[in-house]
Amino acid sequence: MNQQDGFHVAVVGATGAVGQQMIQTLVNEKFPISKLTLLSSARSAGKRVEVNGQEITIEEAKPESFEGVDIALFSAGGGVSKELAPEAVKRGAIVVDNTSAFRMDADKPLVVPEVNELDLHQHNGIIANPNCSTIQMVVALEPIRQKYGLKKVIVSTYQAVSGAGASAVEELIEQTKSILNNETIEPQILPVKSDNNHYQIAFNAIPQIDKFQDNGYTFEEMKMINETKKIMHLPELQVSATCVRLPVAVGHSESVYFEIEAGDVSANDIKALLKDAPGVVLQDDPENQIYPMPANCVGKNDVFVGRIRKDIDEDRGFHMWVVSDNLLKGAAWNSVQIAERLVKLGLVK
Ligand code: L14
Q: What are the tens digits of pLDDT across the range 155-196? A: 999 999 999 999 999 999 999 999 999 999 999 999 999 999
253 CB near ligand 1 (under 6 Å): no
Cβ of 306 closer than 6 Å to ligand 1, yes or no, is: no
| Ligand 1 lined by 223 (C-beta under 6 Å) | yes
Q: How far is the CA of 164 from the centre of ligand 1 (A)?
A: 6
**Minimum-distance ligand 1 atom for the alpha carbon of 331:** 3
d(C-alpha 107, C-alpha 110), whole Å: 10
pLDDT of residue 4: 58
Q: What is the pLDDT of residues 244-300, one digit of tens each?
A: 999 999 999 999 999 999 999 999 999 999 999 999 999 999 999 999 999 999 999
Do the Cβ atoms of 112 and 278 come closer than 8 Å? no
pLDDT category at 5 given cuts 50, 70, 90 is confident
Of all protein residues, the one whose alpha carbon is nearest to atom 2 of ligand 1 is 164
Instruction: Yes or no: say if 82 and 2 are a contact pair by the CB < 8 Å rule.
Output: no
Q: How confident is the model at residue 2 (pLDDT cuts 50, 70, 90)?
A: very low
> Do residues 306 and 324 make contact, with C-beta atoms less than 8 angstroms apart?
no
Q: 346: which strand partners?
A: none
Instruction: Write b or e for each residue in 167-203: b if 16 or more Cβ atoms lie within 10 A of its Cβ, otherwise e.
Output: ebbebbeebeeeeeeeeebebebbbbeeeeebebbbe
Reduce the DSSP state of residue 148 to 3 states and report it.
Answer: helix
Q: What angle do CA 46, 99, 217 make, to 5 degrees?
A: 135
How large a percentage of the chain has pLDDT more than 90? 98
Atom of ligand 1 nearest to the CA of 162: 4
Q: What is the DSSP string of 224-263?
A: HHHHHHHHTT-TT-EEEEEEEE-S-SS-EEEEEEEEES-S
Tell me the CA–centroid distance for residue 51 and ligand 1, in Å. 26
Angle between helices 132-148 and 267-275 (to 10 degrees): 110
- Which DSSP category does 330 fall into? I
86 class by beta-carbon count within 10 Å (0-12 exposed, 13-18 middle, 19+ buried): middle
Q: pLDDT tier at 3 (50, 70, 90 boundaries)?
A: very low
Tell me, in angstroms, the distance from the centre of ligand 1 to residue 263's CA: 36
The answer on pLDDT for 37 being more than 80 is yes
Q: Is this model's pTM higher than 0.85 or not?
A: yes
What percent of the residues of the chain are helix, what percent strand, and what percent coil, each to the nearest 5? 35, 25, 40
Per residue in 15-29, pLDDT (tens digit) is 999 999 999 999 999
